Structure 1
Amino acid sequence: MTQLNRREALKLGGAGVAVAALAPAAAHAAPTPHFQHGVASGDPLPQAVVLWTRVTPTPESLPGSGTGPAVEVGWQVADDAGFTTVVASGVFTTGPERDHTVKVDVQGLRPDTGYHYRFSYLDAHSPVGRTATAPAPGADVASLKFGVVSCADWEAGFFGAYRHLAARDDLTGVIHLGDYLYEYAAASVVDDKNVRLHLPAHEIVALADYRRRHAQYKTDPDLQALHARCPWMTVWDDHESANNAWAEGAGNHTPGTEGSWAARKAASRQAYDEWMPIRWGQDGVLQRSLRFGQLAELTLLDLRSYRSEQASGPAVDDPARTLTGRAQMDWLKQTLAQSPTRWRLLGNSVMVSPLVLGAVTAKVLRPLTRLLGIPKGGIVLNSDQWDGYAADREELLGHLRENGITNTVFLTGDIHTSWANEVPLEAATYPVKPAVATEFVVPSVASANIDDMLDVEPRTVSLAAETAIANTNRHVRWTNLDDHGYCVLEVRREQVRMDWYFLADRRKPGTSVRKAVSFTSASGSQKLRRAWG
Structure 2
Amino acid sequence: MFPGGRTSDLDSALSCQQNPPWSPALFDKFKRRSFLQAVVAVAASSAFGCAEDVTPPSDDTAKFFPQSVASGDPRPDSVVLWVRASDPDNASANMPVKLEVSTSQDFSSLVLNESFTALAEHDHALKVKVTGLTARTTYYYRFTVEVGGQKVSTHTGRTKTAPAANADVPVKFAFASCQDYIGRYYNAWQRLLQLDEDLDFVVFLGDYVYETTGDASFQDANGTRSIVFEEPEKAQREGTGLVAFYAASALSNYRDLYKAIRSDRVLQQVHERYPFIVVWDDHEFSDDCWGSTATYTDGRIDETQVARRKNAEQAFFEYIPLDNTQAAAGAIDINAVVAAQAGGTKIWRDFEFGQHLKLMVMDYRTNRPDHLIPEDAYPGTVVIDSATMPAPYKPAFAADQFAYVDIDAAPLAPYKAALQGAYVSEAVKAGLTQEQAAAKAATWVKGNQSLFYVNQVIDAVSAARVAAGQSAIPRIAITAETPRGLAYVHMGKGSLFTIQGSRYIVVKPTFDLYAGIKYAGTAKASENALGDAQEAWFKETVKAATNTWKIAVSSVSLTSMVFDLSQKTDVPEANLRQAFYFNADQWDGFPTKKKELLGYLAANNLQKNTLFVSGDIHASFASVESGVPTLTAPAISSGSIKELAGRALLGAGYGPGAAVYQHIVANLDDSLKAGNPGMKFANGDAHGFVVVEVKKDEALATFHLVPSTEIGKDYSLRADSELAAKFTSKKLRVQNGDITDA
Distance of 1:257 and 1:59 partners within structure 2: 43
Alpha-carbon distance change, 297 to 56 in structure 1, aligned in 2, over 3 angstroms: same
Equivalent AA in structure 1 for residue 640 of structure 2: N
Counterpart for residue 87 of structure 2: 57
Q: Given the two structures, how large is their TM-score scaled by the length of structure 2?
A: 0.60
For 1:207, the aligned partner's letter is L
Structure 1 stretches of 5 or more lacking a match? 1-18, 62-67, 362-372, 425-434
Show CA shifts across 1:346-373 (max 9, x none).
1111111333356999xxxxxxxxxxx9
Using the aligned pairs only, state the percent identity.
Answer: 29
Q: In the alignment, is residue 273 of structure 1 matched against residue 343 of structure 2?
A: no
Q: CA deviation at 1:421?
A: 0.5
Determine helix, strand or coil for the equivalent of 1:90: strand
Change (3 A) 1:492 1:25: farther
Alignment match, 1:89: 113
Structure 2 counterpart of 1:165? 192
Distance 1:20 1:482, change over 3 A: closer
CA 1:357 to 1:162, structure 2 compared with 1: closer, same or farther past 3 Å?
closer
Structure 1 position 261, deviation (Å): 1.0
User: Which residue does 1:13 correspond to in 2?
Assistant: none
Alignment partners' CA distance in 1, 2:590 and 2:301: 30
The aligned amino acid for 2:515 is V
Q: Does 1:48 align with 2:78?
A: yes
Q: 1:452 to 1:472 in 2, by over 3 A?
A: closer
Bigger radius of gyration = 2
Contact 1:281 1:287 (C-alpha < 8 Å) held by counterparts: no
Distance across 1 between alignment mates of 2:258 and 2:635: 18
Distance 2:618 2:563 in 1: 20
TM-score using structure 1 length: 0.83
Contact 2:563 2:664 in 1 (8 A): no
Report the more deviating stretch, 277-286 or 396-405.
Answer: 277-286
Aligned with residue 668 of structure 2, among 439, 442, 465: 465
CA separation in 1, counterparts of 2:135 and 2:159? 12
User: Which letter maps to 1:341?
Assistant: N
CA distance in 2, matches of 1:55, 1:232: 20
Please give the per-residue CA displacement for 1:473-497, whole angstroms capped at 9, x wherever unaligned: 1001110111111111111112111
- The equivalent of 1:503 in structure 2 is 706
Counterpart code for 1:59: D
Aligned-residue Cα RMSD (Å) equals: 3.0
Deviations 1:98-134 (A, max 9, x none): 1100100000011110000000111111111000110
1:411 pairs, out of 613, 620, 623, with 613
Q: 1:403 to 1:211 in 2, by over 3 A?
A: same
AA aligned to 1:422 is: V
- The residue aligned with 1:444 is 635
Contact 1:21 1:81 in 2 (8 A): no
Check conservation: 1:324, 1:392, Cα contact below 8 A.
Answer: no
Q: Residue 355 of structure 1: which of 519, 542, 561 is its match?
A: 561
Q: Is the 8 A contact 1:499 1:515 kept in 2?
A: no
- CA shift, 1:256, in A, is 10
Structure having the larger proportion of residues in strand: 1
2:513 equivalent to 1:307: no
Deviates more, 1:225-234 or 1:190-199: 190-199
What pairs with 1:107-256 in structure 2 (closer than 5 Å)?
107-122=131-146, 123-141=151-169, 143-167=170-194, 168-186=196-214, 196-200=225-229, 202-252=246-296
**Corresponding residue SS for 1:118:** strand
Aligned counterparts of 1:506 and 1:127: Cα–Cα separation in 2:
27
Q: Which runs of 5+ in 2 are unaligned?
A: 1-44, 233-245, 327-339, 374-510, 520-524, 568-574, 648-654, 657-661, 716-722
Higher helix share: 2
C-alpha deviation, 1:181, in angstroms = 0.8
Could you tell me how far 1:58 is from its partner in structure 2?
A: 3.3
Deviates more, 1:212-221 or 1:386-395: 386-395
CA distance in 2 between partners of 1:22 and 1:355 (Å) = 40
Change (3 A) 1:262 1:136: same
Go from structure 1 to structure 2 and tell me whether the alpha carbon gap of 1:490 and 1:413 turns closer, same or farther (over 3 Å shift).
same
Tell whether the 8 Å contact from 1:357 to 1:472 is kept in structure 2 after alignment.
yes
Distance 2:291 2:177 in 1: 22
2:295–2:303 Cα contact (<8 Å) kept: no
Residue 331 of structure 1: aligned partner: 537
1:383 to 550, 568, 584: 584
- C-alpha deviation, 1:32, in angstroms: 2.8
1:528 aligns with 2:554: no
Q: Secondary structure at the match of 2:541?
A: helix
Determine whether 1:264 maps to 2:308: yes
1:241 maps to amino acid = F
Partners of 1:21 and 1:180 in 2: CA distance: 21
Query: Residues 112 and 134 of structure 1 are in contact (CA less than 8 Å); yes or no, is this contact kept in structure 2?
Result: yes
